[in-house]
Structure 1
Amino acid sequence: MTDATTIDIPGYRTGTWVLDPAHSEVTFSVRHMMISKVRGTFGMKSATLVAPENPLEAKVEASVDVTSVDTKDEARDNHLRSADFFDVENHPTMEFRSTGTRVEDGDFLVDGDLTIRGITKPVTFEFEFGGFGVDPWGNYKAGATAKTVVNREEFGLTWNAALETGGVLVGKDITITLDLQGAHQPA
């Protein structure tokens, strides 16, 4: 295990980074009928990274619009919005707030609290930096991908159906992937 107290990220700038929703996406996948995976997307409402001199002291807050769930099946999407799953009438957003960042075995990890359906649990996202660049309008941008796996039942998403052939309709483990692009906000 490698435990760093600071890291060097070429192109890193201190300050505030704000999500570019037109170039960001939240996706998820879950086992369906124990034989395949269903994939879907959510719209990002907001995300902010406050970046101090030491990247390992950065703070992230993000909000996802759960009402925007899209699995390419309207009936399934409506069921996911219902009280059986996300209960979007009472819990229209999914929230993440970081509690720490670290490097472990060469991986950049962001720990934090994830809130789904009003239930908050600790999770760890593995981050992969895509890099930094300047767009044609002079905006300094950063890109990253983050991934975690959560047990949906720990967040109150317990609905399921038994299958005649054995097993259940919906798996417990959900893989959440964030493909993010943010813009640096000059001080």
Structure 2
Amino acid sequence: MSIEIPGYRPGTWTLDPAHSEVTFSVRHMMISKVRGSFGVKEATLIAPENPLEAKVEAKVDVASVDTNDEGRDAHLRSADFFDVENHPTMEFVSTGTRVEDGDFFVDGDLTIRGITKPVSFELDFGGFGTDPYGNYKAGASAKTVINREDFGLTWNAALETGGVLVGKDITIGLDLQGALQV
């Protein structure tokens, strides 16, 4: 199966970190959400003629975690959570791209804290265009939900009122912009 995407060009695309972001949200005390972000270290998309055969590899700098609370960020960097000393990056390697009922999905292997699990990101194309410097760019957003405990992120605290401090489900959001390499 092949699809056509207006503006699509085959080639090697590299991430523009200044215009890209990885975000997350998780339930806190079961009553609200904590949101944060990571700096994207690198990402490459190898795009053949058929977009459904594209391959993506990405790395995220885990030490860059930012939740607007330095104490919480330090705890997230510790061995209780990401253990950045031993696992400085999160990585994603795609295994396929598919279309279901008109929606695009990128399937792949996500590695957090040395544990690799399959995930599917629902993809929303933003489009293509040329910037003022002559670079041909593409934009997209993607989202998935993972169970953090599947990746060894099991630290938690019981609440006096019932429930736990940190929810299991993490929503991961990507807002990405890349440039076609010439």
What's the TM-score, normalizing by structure 2?
0.99
Percent of counterpart pairs with the same letter?
A: 85
Task: Give the alignment partner of residue 150 of structure 2, picking from 154, 159, 164.
Answer: 154
Matches within 5 A, 1:12-27: 12-27=8-23
Q: CA deviation at 1:106?
A: 1.1
In 2, the alpha carbon distance for the partners of 1:151 and 1:185 equals 35
Shift of 1:16: 0.3
1:20 is displaced (CA, Å) by: 0.2
Aligned AA for 1:83?
Answer: A
Residue 177 in structure 1 maps to residue 173 in structure 2: yes
Confirm or deny that 1:28 pairs with 2:20: no
Letter in 1 for 2:18: A
Q: What CA deviation, in whole Å up to 9, does each residue of 1:135-162 have, x standing for no partner?
A: 0000000000011100000000000000
Alignment match, 2:40: 44
Aligned pairs (5 A) from 1:4-19 = 5-19=1-15
1: CA distance between counterparts of 2:3 and 2:171?
27
Amino acid at match of 1:75: G
What one-letter code is carried by the residue in structure 1 that aligns with 2:181?
Q
Give the ranges of 4+ consecutive aligned residues of structure 1 lying more than 6 Å apart after TM superposition: none
User: How far did 1:88 drift?
Assistant: 0.2
Distance 1:48 1:151 in 2: 26
Unaligned runs of at least 5 residues, structure 1: none
1:70 aligns with 2:70: no
Could you tell me which residue of structure 2 aligns to residue 131 of structure 1?
127
- Distance of 2:72 and 2:173 partners within structure 1: 20
What is the count of residue pairs matched by the alignment?
182
Helix, strand or coil at the partner of 1:8 = coil
Q: CA separation in 2, counterparts of 1:17 and 1:166?
A: 48
Q: Pick one of 65, 82, 85 that aligns with 1:86.
A: 82
| Partner in structure 1 of residue 117 of structure 2 | 121
TM-score, length-scaled by structure 1: 0.97
> Partner letter of residue 75 of structure 2?
H
Question: Aligned AA for 1:67?
Answer: A
Cα-to-partner distance string for 1:11-38 (whole Å, 9 max, x where unaligned): 0000000000000000000000000000
Q: CA deviation at 1:68?
A: 0.3
Take 2:42 and 2:124, find their aligned partners in 1: how far apart are those partners? Answer: 20
| Letter of the 1:133 counterpart | G
Give, as a single letter, the amino acid of the residue that structure 1 aligns with 2:124: E
Provide the C-alpha distance between the structure 2 equivalents of 1:98 and 1:68, rounded to a whole number of angstroms: 23
Measured in 1, the distance between the counterparts of 2:168 and 2:89 equals 20
